[in-house]
Amino acid sequence: MSPADIRRVGVVGGGRMGAGIAEVCARAELDTLLCEATRPAAAKARERIAVSLERAVQRGKLDRTSAEAALDRITVTADLADLADRQLVVEAVTEDPDAKTGVFAALDKIVDDPAAILATNTSSLPVMRLGMATGRADRVIGLHFFNPVPVLPLVEVVTTLHTSPEVTADVTDFATRTLGKTVIHSRDRAGFVVNALLVPYLLSAIRMTESGFATATDVDRGMELGCAHPMGPLKLADLIGLDTVASIAESLYDEFKEPLYAPPPVLLRMVEAGLLGRKTGRGFHTYRREERPGSSG
């Protein structure tokens, strides 16, 4: 299957990441089917995409005709079985091993075409584990986008010991030529490239605040104004989602057992309290409430 042959794409999970992936696929003129757990969640995902497209129009990044055409290419469903005819399915549900494994086991039975590619947007979990939940591990690959998906140009393509070279080449070409993204490659290790470098930095900022050494505002201001970072580490953690940061940290620590990867206690308490950052309105900073706790993506 060549990248040009991939015209029917499925996305499982309609949270911020899943909705963003569906949007970029639709903007690339692909027939896009987004699946959520319930019909209300599916409708909300489509609304999230409509808001994002309107924002792009208002910012002059997209004309209205193209935005309307992209939205028309997106169909939402609450039934995984509707993904049977997809040529590429990208899983983007919550960073929970059981949830992701369950999705892949189900997709293996549902997706008809043996040449179809099953991809995961996981930011931390072993892609191999997901592939082994299927009978087609050679067709399973990591396709890790970054938030916000319509804006950030990078995609990590992550290959396992089973992923076929053909699938790696096809997915790389699909991400670059069809979606217009820039690809970097990683082997299947916790954190891949970006998060293996980024998360210890975020955890260090969280520990500095937890210890009382500096406030969240001063930590962020220091890195923004002293190091020319566009966003401070605690604002970035809030944007990523503190639950996702904690999940990545736990995966890194489980694999490498190095103290710098261990999630700080305050991070775990905040996750338990549902203070997940931007998507819940409160993390290390306070925001306008955008989404309810527990939304996928």
Catalytic residues: 123, 144, 156, 195
b/e sequence 76-100, b meaning 16+ C-beta within 10 Å: beeebeebeebbbbbbbbbbeeeeb
Task: Compute the radius of gyration of the chain from its Cα atoms.
Answer: 19
- SS3 of 193-223: the string is CHHHHHHHHHHHHHHHHHCCCCCHHHHHHHH
Q: Measure the CA–CA gap between 99 and 163, rounded to whole angstroms.
A: 21
Q: Measure the CA–CA gap between 32 and 7, rounded to whole angstroms.
A: 8
